[in-house]
Amino acid sequence: MAMAEPEGAPKESFRPSMLIYDTRYRAITIQVLVLAGVLALIGWLVNNTLHNLEILGKPLGFGFLFEPASYDINQRLIEYNSRDTHLRAAFVGLLNTLLVAAAGCALATIIGLFVGVLRLSKNWLVGRLMTVYVEGFRNVPVLLWILLTMAILIDTAPRPAAFRKGEASMLFDAIAITNRGIYIPEPVFSRSLGNIHLFGSSSLRFDVSLDLVAILVALIAGIIASILVRRWADRVQEETGDRPTTWHIRTALVVVPPVLVLWALGFHLVYPELKGFNFKGGIHLRNSFIALWLALSLYTAAFIAEIVRAGIQSVPKGQTEAALALGLSGGQTMRLVILPQALRVIIPPLISQYLNLTKNSSLAIAVGYMDITGTLGGITLNQTGRELESIMLLMLVYLAISLSISSVMNWYNKRVKLKER
Amino acid sequence: MAETTYVRTEMLPPKPPPPTQTGVIGWLRENLFDGWKNTLLTLVALYVIYALLSAALPWFLHAVWNAESLNECREIIKASWGPEADGACFAVIRDRWHQMLYGFYPQDLYWRPNLAFVLMLVALSPVLFPNLPRKMLVFSLIYPFLGYWLLWGGTVWAPVSWALGFILGYFAFILVNDRGGTILAAIAAVVVPVLWWLFGAGPFADLVQSLIPISLADVESRQFGGFMLSVTIGITGIVGSLPLGIILALGRQSNLLMVKSLSVGFIEFIRGVPLITLLFVASTLLNIFMPPGTNFDIILRVVIMVTLFSAAYVAEVVRGGLAALPKGQYEAAAALGLDYWKSMRLVILPQALKIAIPGIVSTFIGLFKDTTLVSIIGLMDPIGLTNAIRANAEWQGIIWELYGFVALVFWIFCFSMSRYSMYLESRLETGHR
């Protein structure tokens, strides 16, 4: 028989004062109040905004995106002319943002790794030099680095005419550093496969180079084959105890297919040449891109160096000693014991530095590099007077980039999380 | 048993180590020339240092401090050091010194920002260094209003009546707390000052001003500039973002679903967009969000945005500190019968903030560096002034002198902040080692 309720126990009935004094109901009261407050605030702001837009005679709408942009973008990855729409201009800008972000992340990682490792070096002088680099770069605003690099490129690099007079010369006869930008050789395919045209004639149309696709396919196939060889070597080692030497086969598998494809496509370089007052041919990297790229990379590299240093220092010395005691070689110790543990510490802050670099690339507007801030948040905004819509779209784009990068990070964190049993 | 006379009975004194192991030579061998790889690194590093010094030293030694333009500088350098010589033209800093410090602030009023800066140091010192007398904190509380009055001028009764709002809120909280409980008190503490600021503060200031007129000459926000502007925005942002960040972090850890999701949404949104887009909002959109006719001060708009931006980052750092605390601390606080706010204030936050100090300070360093972004929306901070000076005919072509000067000042500020964070960490270190 179930226990009966004690006789005469007060039957709790709901009283309004319990909304405040009873912790069970108080949580609900607070949330309702907070929600009401926030909704009231948002409603007030939206109401003001609509009212103001009405006064200004600019009802909310995104139709302006499909009007002709009628401005030029001098550095672009895809074909664009001033008769294209604002949406197309924003798309060109987005690709420019992604370009400088990807190039910046790559260079920053290389410099950061290098500096971070050297900072731990036993060599006193090198360690100090690297400390000076890190402390110098990260304590000065990145905007200043960008503008300084831009000023140096414009004011101290030789004019193209100087190359004619012999006052300046090209590096390796291939790269010309001028005050109008840097000219580098352009890869060209004489037996090109052509392009695939995507998205018809809409604002988001772009061409995919089949040559690039072919090279990528060859590279990926090579890497997969190399992994298969490694698996085979693992299996042999487990069965017999001896590991077959595979590094030469694996290198060949990765290198040879892309080289073959390049040869088949008729790969050659077109060098920049001085014609008239300027260089022709080759790829023209404008000063704005170079300044942004170098400054962002050097600045972010200082932070990455610290992350790398902390990561390496976080692995206890006992791990190295234990690995050596097991009979692993120096390289194996690094690859199988130290790196997996250091990377667990390094990768999350590293990715958030990538995120910072991507967001900082919006400073492009200070040197006139046409990224998404320069197109959508700059010229388009000023020409159409659509501040609200432009800035909302701009924020959405950056949010989408940030959220996708941080979801990659979360996935990685989950994968390498210590499994505690 | 034969005598073993050949056994020594006393110890020999230890021999000094060989000269290659000690002193300067030993240090050099161990730290710089230990194996061929290390030697190579040392040589490369020496070459880098030589290359930097050989470019920079003559440049510094040939510096010119007195000139009207870059061309004049170059002529002086050529005249005194030969036609090939290269030298620094620090005359530009001397020429534009006041502008770099104060922007276009009226020249005869420079004493006001100077005084405000000195008083700011006085107000900050009891917060930064706990061994100073606690009574100085009263001045720290007064300072925001005093500093505003000194910088912008106008009647003294305007900041006084705003301060009165806070005092009214405090009394409202105490009065209601005794009768109606914490929630009602919290609501009263928000509603009373807001009502005062909206309806009471303006008339009150006008009334008292007409009775007892005390005022300073007005200075427009557009006249602010130089390092004064950076420090104003930076310090206000730092002071504002710490409490806001802590509240957001607590909100994110909260059990209340509504509070939690609002905090998460706000933090993730702010962290997902670059500061420059928020500054665009400040410069073009904020007036659209307000009732028609409102005209917000541009510096105030920027400060609001910078504060919100860095509060989101502070919140994430503080959340890290909260998460790092063992759960037992929360449970112990609850077991002692402390309510939520007491347990946070007395048990959780002191420990969590201590863990979060390095992160908080580096967020603040980032905020201070990010104040330079206001040059993009047209304010005359040091970077904006540098651009303007470089566009000027007299100083066109000057690079290192100006950027170097601005960089040096920022470096000193930021580096001392990071040193302070190290000092604080070591002072609060309670681990038993």
Q: Verify whether the Cβ–Cβ distance A143 to B383 is below 8 Å.
A: yes
d(CA A100, CA A370): 11
d(CA B43, CA A123): 11
To the nearest whole Å, the CA of A401 is away from the closest chain B CA by 8
ipTM entry:
0.88
| Last residue in a domain, options A230, A248, A270 | A270
As a whole number, the mean pLDDT across chain A is: 85
**Interface A:B, Cβ pairs < 8 A:** 163
Q: Verify whether the Cβ–Cβ distance A27 to B273 is below 8 Å.
A: no
- As a whole number of Å, the end-to-end CA separation of chain B is 56
Query: Which residue on chain B is closest to A34 by alpha carbon?
Result: B259
Q: Verify whether the Cβ–Cβ distance A45 to B268 is below 8 Å.
A: no
d(CA B183, CA B256): 15
pLDDT reported for residue B158: 86
d(CA A335, CA A321): 14
User: Does residue A50 belong to any structural domain of this protein?
Assistant: no
Q: Do both A284 and A302 map to the same domain?
A: yes
pLDDT reported for residue B30: 77
> Residue B291 to residues A416, B296, B308: CA-CA distances in angstroms?
51, 11, 21
Interface with B, mutate which of A17, A122, A142 (most B CBs under 10 A): A122
pLDDT at B433 over 50: no
Q: Do both A101 and A238 map to the same domain?
A: no
- A295 part of contact set with chain B, CB < 8 Å: no
Q: Ramachandran region of residue A309, left (φ > 0), alpha (ψ -120 to 50) or beta?
A: alpha
Residue with tokens 């902040």: B417
Residue numbers in B near A366 (CB within 8 A): 375-376
d(CA B86, CA B291): 58
Q: Which of B183, B280, B410 sits opposite A20 (nearest CB)?
A: B183
Please name the residues in contact with A302: beta carbons below 8 A apart, sequence gap of 6 or more: A112, A115, A133, A134, A136, A137, A138
pLDDT reported for residue B38: 82
Q: Do both A210 and A243 map to the same domain?
A: yes
| Last residue in a domain, options A247, A270, A293 | A270
Q: Which of B32, B397, B418 sits opposite A124 (nearest CB)?
A: B32
CATH of the domain at A290: 1.10.3720.10
pLDDT at B116 over 80: yes
Q: Do both A392 and A308 map to the same domain?
A: yes
Q: Do both A284 and A147 map to the same domain?
A: yes
At position A45, the amino acid (one-letter code) is L
Residue numbers in B near A60 (CB within 8 A): none
The CATH homologous superfamily of the domain defined by B104-427 = MetI-like (1.10.3720.10)
Query: Which residue on chain B is closest to A130 by alpha carbon?
Result: B45
- Where does the pLDDT of residue B190 fall: very low under 50, low under 70, confident under 90, or very high at 90 and above? confident
To the nearest whole Å, the CA of B13 is away from the closest chain A CA by 33
User: Does residue A7 belong to any structural domain of this protein?
Assistant: no
Please name the residues in contact with B251: beta carbons below 8 A apart, sequence gap of 6 or more: B259, B260, B262, B263
**Please, what is the angle between helix B349-370 and helix B298-324, to 10°?**
140
Q: Do both A200 and A348 map to the same domain?
A: no
- A382 part of contact set with chain B, CB < 8 Å: no
Q: Do both A253 and A392 map to the same domain?
A: no
Q: Do both A261 and A152 map to the same domain?
A: no
Secondary structure of A294-336 as H, E, C letters:
HHHHHHHHHHHHHHHHHHHHCCCHHHHHHHHHCCCCHHHHHHH
Query: Which residue on chain B is closest to A58 by alpha carbon?
Result: B288
**Please, what is the angle between helix B257-272 and helix B226-253, to 10°?**
140
> Residue A395 to residues A36, A92, A399: CA-CA distances in angstroms?
26, 17, 6
pLDDT reported for residue A144: 94
The better pLDDT of the pair A106, A205 is held by: A106
The phi and psi torsions of A184 (rounded to 5 degrees) equal -125, 160
Interface with A, mutate which of B369, B396, B413, B420 (most A CBs under 10 A): B369
Q: Verify whether the Cβ–Cβ distance A140 to B414 is below 8 Å.
A: yes
Q: Verify whether the Cβ–Cβ distance A34 to B262 is below 8 Å.
A: yes
> Residue B396 to residues A148, A295, B58, B147: CA-CA distances in angstroms?
14, 22, 22, 36
**Lowest pLDDT segment from A299-313, A360-374, B169-183:** B169-183
> Residue B300 to residues B115, B171, B295, B366: CA-CA distances in angstroms?
21, 28, 11, 19
pLDDT reported for residue B220: 86
Give the 3-state secondary structure percentages of chain A, helix then strand then coil, rounded to 5: 65, 10, 25
Helices (H), B181-225: 182-195, 201-211
Angle at B285 between CA B283 and CA B290, to 5 degrees: 115
pLDDT at A1 over 50: no
As a whole number, the mean pLDDT across chain B is: 87
- Where does the pLDDT of residue A6 fall: very low under 50, low under 70, confident under 90, or very high at 90 and above? low
Percent pLDDT > 90 in chain B is 33
If residue A148 lies in a helix (H) or strand (E), which one and from where to where? Answer: helix A142-156
Q: Do both A283 and A381 map to the same domain?
A: yes
**Taken in order B129, B135, B138, B139, is the CA torsion positive or negative?**
negative
Q: Do both A176 and A287 map to the same domain?
A: yes
Tokens of A22: 């009873």
Residue A419: DSSP 8-state: -
To the nearest whole Å, the CA of A355 is away from the closest chain B CA by 9
Q: Which of B32, B276, B291 sits opposite A373 (nearest CB)?
A: B276
Closest of B147, B140, B141 to residue B116, by C-alpha: B147
- B94 part of contact set with chain A, CB < 8 Å: no
Mean pLDDT of B183-210: 84
d(CA B15, CA B21): 13
Helices (H), A326-386: 330-332, 339-360, 372-374, 381-384
Buried b (16+ CB within 10 A) or exposed e, B287-321: bbbbeeeeeeebbebbbbbbbbbbbbbbbbbbbeb
d(CA A344, CA A172): 41
pLDDT reported for residue A39: 92
- Where does the pLDDT of residue B87 fall: very low under 50, low under 70, confident under 90, or very high at 90 and above? confident
| Last residue in a domain, options A223, A240, A270 | A270
Residue with tokens 């908080």: B360
pLDDT reported for residue A2: 47
Q: Judging by DSSP bridges, how do beta strands A273-275 and A278-280 pair with one another?
A: antiparallel
pLDDT reported for residue A8: 55
pLDDT at A11 over 80: no
Identify whether the C-beta of residue A141 lies closer than 8 Å to the C-beta of residue B372.
Answer: yes
**Lowest pLDDT segment from A375-389, B171-185, B302-316:** B171-185
Mean pLDDT of B305-314: 94
pLDDT at A247 over 80: yes
Closest of B344, B355, B280 to residue B317, by C-alpha: B355
d(CA A393, CA A93): 13
Tally of domains within chain A: 2
Interface with A, mutate which of B309, B317, B399 (most A CBs under 10 A): B399
pLDDT at A73 over 60: yes
- Where does the pLDDT of residue B297 fall: very low under 50, low under 70, confident under 90, or very high at 90 and above? confident
Domain that holds residue A333: 66-185+271-411
Residue A175: DSSP 8-state: B
Q: Which of B386, B406, B410 sits opposite A139 (nearest CB)?
A: B410
Q: Do both A238 and A344 map to the same domain?
A: no
d(CA A160, CA A167): 10
Distance of CA B98 to the CA centre of its chain: 22
Tokens of A112: 């950061």
pLDDT reported for residue B133: 84
pLDDT at A294 over 90: yes
Residue numbers in B near A147 (CB within 8 A): 383, 386-387, 403
Burial of A321 (0-12, 13-18, 19+ CB in 10 A): exposed
Q: Do both A258 and A143 map to the same domain?
A: no
- A392 part of contact set with chain B, CB < 8 Å: no
d(CA A370, CA A69): 14
pLDDT reported for residue A307: 93
Residues 307-326 of A with CB under 8 A from B: none
User: Does residue A52 belong to any structural domain of this protein?
Assistant: no
Query: Which residue on chain A is closest to B45 by alpha carbon?
Result: A126
Q: DSSP characters for A185-246?
A: -EEEETT---EEEESTTSTT-EEEEHHHHHHHHHHHHHHHHHHHHHHHHHHHHHHHS-PPP-
The phi and psi torsions of B303 (rounded to 5 degrees) equal -60, -40
